[in-house]
Structure formats: structure tokens, C-alpha cells
Amino acid sequence: EDAAGLPVLADARVAFSCEVAESLTAGTHQIFIGQITDISEAEGAALLYEQSRFHRLAPL
């Protein structure tokens, strides 16, 4: 859980908690713009998704 008690994925490297700052209608879609209220980070290797594949980032 985050500071507000919202669920966070257990294996997430980064989690952003947001409050809805604005809601817009675009045709048949609803777009929500969030104001970040909390960020949590965990240790571990980052992943990059590129050209339909996941890649691990390595130090230079």
C-alpha cells in the first residue's frame, strides 16, 4: 500500500500515487490527468520495453 492506503504492485520498481487533477472527454474516451502525490521506489534492475520486447538495462 502507498501512504494513502492504495494498492501497489509488490514487484514494482516505481509506483506513482495520483489525485485526479482534471477530467476531459475526447469523443468516446474519458481522459484523466493526475497530480502526483507520492512516489515510491524499490531496488532492482530496470527494464526497457522497445520494439515489442523487454530488455534489461546494464551499467555502462
39 Cβ neighbours under 8 A, 6+ residues apart: 14, 15, 16, 17
Query: Would you kindly state where each structural domain of the chain is located, as residue ranges?
Result: 14-56
pTM for the complete prediction?
Answer: 0.60
**How far apart are alpha carbons 57 and 1 in whole angstroms?**
27
Read off the pLDDT of residues 2-60 as tens digits, 9 standing for 90 and up: 878 888 888 888 889 999 999 999 999 999 999 999 898 888 877 788 899 988 877 77
